[in-house]
């Protein structure tokens, strides 16, 4: 029973996959597929560590070095984005 399973299913499947990979490689000209990178990897512009402040609009904690700031009643408030700053200042 197990032998029949291997002879009728596993070996034909392996043979098919092997032939397919050889044909793909042959039709591609033997070169590796070109992979395009959607997002370029860049080094972070903000140093790790530092003080975190909580955005009063959405509650996200953001580094003081990377935050968008706004001054409200003489106090500097840190925001995660310009949109949050504008919502806070509009209210």
- Tens of pLDDT, residue by residue over 61-72, are 998 888 888 888
Residue 77, domain extent:
52-90
Kindly give, in sequence order, each residue whose CB lies less than 8 Å from that of residue 59, ignoring residues fewer than 6 positions away.
none
Distance, in Å, from the CA atom of 77 to the CA atom of 70, rounded to the nearest integer, reads 5
Looking at residue 71, its pLDDT comes to: 85
Is this structure's pTM higher than 0.95? no
Number of domains in the chain: 2
Other beta carbons within 10 angstroms of residue 85's beta carbon come to 21
For the record, the structure tokens of 66 come out as: 């990377």
Looking at residue 36, its pLDDT comes to: 67
- Tens of pLDDT, residue by residue over 5-60, are 888 999 999 999 999 988 888 887 766 666 666 766 666 565 666 789 999 999 99
Residues 26 and 56 in one domain: no
Looking at residue 32, its pLDDT comes to: 62
Residue 83 within any structural domain of the chain? yes
Residue 3 within any structural domain of the chain? yes
Residue 38 within any structural domain of the chain? no
């Amino acid at each position: 029973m197990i032998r029949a399973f291997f002879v009728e299913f596993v070996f034909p499947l392996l043979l098919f996959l092997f032939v397919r990979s050889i044909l793909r490689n042959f039709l591609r000209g033997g070169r590796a597929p070109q992979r395009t990178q959607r997002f370029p990897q860049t080094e972070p512009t903000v140093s790790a560590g530092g003080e975190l402040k909580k955005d009063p609009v959405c509650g996200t904690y953001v580094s003081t070095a990377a935050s968008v700031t706004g001054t409200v009643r003489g106090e500097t408030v840190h925001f995660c984005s310009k949109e949050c700053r504008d919502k806070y200042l509009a209210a």
